[in-house]
Structure 1
């Protein structure tokens, strides 16, 4: 029995070595400085730190340690060097010590700005990758809808995407405060959709309960399709497919010798497919297919099912996020609120800021014209929404991972593209994503402290 899975990137020996070095940085620093002093003691006991040599070996040592590990390790090295100077030199070399200390601080400043820039670029790349993945999955869902319409237009004149939206609407109408019960309704309707559209005869979804930090193997619930055989949780978790899918965080399915889905090996496994949904590096749910016709069990259908599962599961996770999110005054656009909270999280944890621009207009027609022009000019990651408070309308624009200069550049381009002089007359103000209180006061025209 062969199981197809994505190739997992192998960590190189260099990466393993660097990770271990960073983990034990202080031990490494103490060891290197100790070896340096030991060599100095044997070569030149009267000049153990080599301060009187033509080449400043001490500064080279401090540069290597501080540039690689940072200020703290540089300070440890300086402390050991100063003790050696105090103990082995007849008169403490103050000038050499102060030069070494000053250079350590300069080296540490280089290390700080370099690592900070790398962190900012990494966060920006991860955010853009996440947005690209979400958009690509939405696009692929639309492609699946087109394929289904082309094949089954007479029998089923409804796209897959519309079916998912119907599932979401049904779950929202559920009159219960239980998050698990709403999630169960999401997945039950999703399994029904798979049965109708992809001939998934039977299957189930195992998903984490409300506790965020629990593992799916320890705290989870199961939703079954209408005719699926019931299994105990131990039977499910002991299955090779499910165990591998959770461990590798990749879809696993029964395959033939060339890696194509094949039912001939079904007798060696309880299940056909295990498709996990990964959210913030944790497995939140796993779709397990128990039975499926031979003609429908192909890679194209499995990819389509995997994309649809992620599309639905992201929506479920998104709703959970919105339930505990920061709120912008008068804004009811869930997509906008969700994106704001994701950027607020990045700003809180990585100090990579984003900018909000608020355009205030007191005329409804002018608001409509300016908003239409803005929609034509928005970049792929930028989003905008319109709210109304008392006599004023507010167009709120969110510029992800961009500073105020980007917002001002957009404002200049907007005014340049608006032809009517009257439509260019409006108030505007920029805010950091951290300035939520001030932003709400601006919208509500509240000058109280």
Structure 2
């Protein structure tokens, strides 16, 4: 039996922090603050700065008699911190201070204020531009992190599937591919009032696949884990919230088993968190009894992956339903990525595209169709289907605008020219493209298919 200290499955989503690399002092100078709070902070901050200057030089609180205009340095910090608009607010505070302390006599220092306000506008505009770029990059990074989590899970499932197929094909009629399809169908009936739909069926399937004797699933409540199990196999039991193995699982949000608490006693053999790719824990599977030979690294790791895949399916179902409700025959993976890209464009403004290639049936058309399918880029998703007269390839191109579409089509034509001495126009291949619709991705896909002559 293989034994090793289990680490949490790498399906946990990684949250990137756009300011995570600036350190403690960087967070003090560039925090994330809401607009009303920032306005108050700018006004109060400038009052404090001018007040300190007044204590230092009561006769010249704006430090006009010093060679360098130090008062604008504080206003520039606020401009870099919050942007041009609030930088101008800081400048107006300086102008108001001049009216209070210097308004009785003396000429208005025009160039002093013109230069200072110009500096604030330039530095504030710099802040606005780079904050917008940082938000766009944040949206792209979040999408790529989601793709990485999905690819990692699929890769692990594929590897475990081949290993278990070699060992268990004679004793178990189902494969891990069947398990994935079954768990996806269980997640498909998700409703908002039920955070873990079909939990009993899912637990029974996991118990059969991983040889679990007695176990229960406890959902996450507002104040911790609920005391009542929503699904059980074997005899039911009450949850001991103070059990050291359970506390280890909840605190570290990772799979825990007896090896982790060798010096303590526990009534449970293993505790498995149910965590989706968004890092939200919806429940914990508590295993109280299972065969000794089944308590090994591969079996418990497979149990963790099955539960997390089930949790991912619950979160993803709302995104998939939005597309499949309009285009029912759209594949699950294609609909999921289309919904994710639509959300990314809605939040971050990053464009993605759809390209449809319609090939006529025949010897040449079929060869061209196969060649284009083989040319899929790593990040792209393909949906290929056939009708009596045509074959259609719909390519979902993440993070790609119109210029990227032109480059993709030029690469295809260059390859077809080299392989078949023809191009898309000569081969009578129709090309249609569209941007991913941020509001209604399913409707955008439906309109593209209608342009291809395909109707659901």
Please give the range of the TM-score, normalised by the shorter of the 2 chains: 0.7 to 0.9
Q: 1:193 to 1:438 in 2, by over 3 A?
A: closer
Query: Does structure 1 residue 434 correspond to structure 2 residue 442?
Result: no
Determine which of 252, 269, 278 is the counterpart of 2:256.
Answer: 252
Alignment of 1:325-340 (within 5 A): 325=323, 332-340=330-338
- CA contact 2:357–2:394 (8 Å) conserved in 1: yes
Give the superposition deviation at 1:166: 4.4
C-alpha separation between the residues in 2 aligned to 1:208 and 1:26? 39
Alignment of 1:32-181 (within 5 A): 32-45=45-58, 47-51=60-64, 53-89=66-102, 90=105, 91-156=107-172, 158-166=174-182, 168=184
C-alpha separation between the residues in 1 aligned to 2:187 and 2:308? 17
- CA contact 1:250–1:276 (8 Å) conserved in 2: no
Determine which of 193, 213, 222 is the counterpart of 1:201.
Answer: 213
- CA contact 1:278–1:285 (8 Å) conserved in 2: no
Give the superposition deviation at 1:382: 0.7
C-alpha separation between the residues in 1 aligned to 2:173 and 2:315? 29
C-alpha separation between the residues in 2 aligned to 1:334 and 1:276? 22
Give the superposition deviation at 1:105: 1.8
Q: 1:100 to 1:366 in 2, by over 3 A?
A: farther
C-alpha separation between the residues in 2 aligned to 1:162 and 1:148? 13
What is the RMSD of the two structures over their aligned residues, measured on CA atoms?
4.1
C-alpha separation between the residues in 2 aligned to 1:142 and 1:130? 18
Residues 61-107 of structure 1 show CA distances to partners (whole Å, capped at 9, x for unaligned) of 33322112323442331221111122222333333223322222211
- Secondary structure of residue in 1 paired with 2:147: helix
C-alpha separation between the residues in 2 aligned to 1:351 and 1:219? 44
- CA contact 2:360–2:389 (8 Å) conserved in 1: yes
- Decide which moves more: 343-352 or 92-101: 92-101
Determine which of 7, 27, 37 is the counterpart of 1:18.
Answer: 27
Determine which of 214, 222, 228 is the counterpart of 2:230.
Answer: 222
Aligned length: 424
Show the counterpart of 1:376. Answer: 374
Query: Does structure 1 residue 444 correspond to structure 2 residue 450?
Result: yes
Give the superposition deviation at 1:348: 0.9
C-alpha separation between the residues in 2 aligned to 1:16 and 1:255? 41
Show the counterpart of 2:11. Answer: none
C-alpha separation between the residues in 2 aligned to 1:284 and 1:311? 13
- CA contact 1:356–1:396 (8 Å) conserved in 2: yes
Q: 1:110 to 1:396 in 2, by over 3 A?
A: same
- CA contact 1:86–1:92 (8 Å) conserved in 2: no
C-alpha separation between the residues in 1 aligned to 2:164 and 2:367? 38
- Decide which moves more: 345-354 or 297-306: 297-306
Point out where structure 1 has 5 or more consecutive residues left out of the alignment. none
Alignment of 1:266-415 (within 5 A): 267-270=265-268, 272-325=270-323, 332-363=330-361, 368-386=366-384, 394-415=392-413
C-alpha separation between the residues in 2 aligned to 1:319 and 1:219? 28
C-alpha separation between the residues in 2 aligned to 1:147 and 1:141? 10
- CA contact 1:331–1:387 (8 Å) conserved in 2: no
- CA contact 2:355–2:395 (8 Å) conserved in 1: yes
C-alpha separation between the residues in 1 aligned to 2:289 and 2:342? 43
Give the superposition deviation at 1:378: 1.9
Residues 104-144 of structure 1 show CA distances to partners (whole Å, capped at 9, x for unaligned) of 22111111221222222222222222212212211211222
Q: 1:382 to 1:12 in 2, by over 3 A?
A: closer
C-alpha separation between the residues in 1 aligned to 2:158 and 2:444? 40
- Secondary structure of residue in 2 paired with 1:346: helix
- CA contact 1:331–1:337 (8 Å) conserved in 2: no
C-alpha separation between the residues in 2 aligned to 1:148 and 1:169? 22
Q: 1:147 to 1:423 in 2, by over 3 A?
A: same
Residues 158-210 of structure 1 show CA distances to partners (whole Å, capped at 9, x for unaligned) of 432333334556887xxx8978899654x44443343344322121234579x
The structure showing larger relative contact order (alpha-carbon pairs under 8 Å, at least 6 residues apart) is 2
Give the superposition deviation at 1:405: 2.0
Give the superposition deviation at 1:25: 4.7
- CA contact 2:257–2:270 (8 Å) conserved in 1: yes
C-alpha separation between the residues in 2 aligned to 1:410 and 1:177? 38
TM-score (norm 1): 0.78
